[in-house]
Amino acid sequence: MNKKKNSRFDELIDAARSRQKRDKPQEIVEEKVTFKSKSTDPNYVRTTVYLPKKLHRGLKLAAAADDRQMSDIMTELLEKWLSQK
């Protein structure tokens, strides 16, 4: 099937696209906030711990609810535990 190259529909689509490009605000170049992730920070070490599934699920839910990372909560708890030793 051959489609008309200059149908009214095609003209309307082209006009809408050019209007979108024209009306689109200029992109604002923002300064990127750079921060070190724990994986690239030399003050951190990656380690593995084994937790029961139920405990892990609870930790994950609590971390998400508090908008925190699980590793931050674990660090806080381990520091508290070590200070009591």
CB-based burial, 34-69: b 16+ in 10 Å, e otherwise:
eeeeeeeeeeeeeeeeeeeeeeeeeeeeebeeeeee
Nearest in space to 48 (alpha carbons), one of 69, 71, 82: 71
Q: What is the mean pLDDT of each run of 10 residues along the chain (85 residues)?
A: 65 79 68 76 92 96 95 96 95
The predicted pLDDT at position 28 comes to 66
Q: Cβ-count burial of 70 within 10 angstroms (0-12 exposed, 13-18 middle, 19+ buried)?
A: middle
What pTM does this model have? 0.56
The predicted pLDDT at position 75 comes to 96
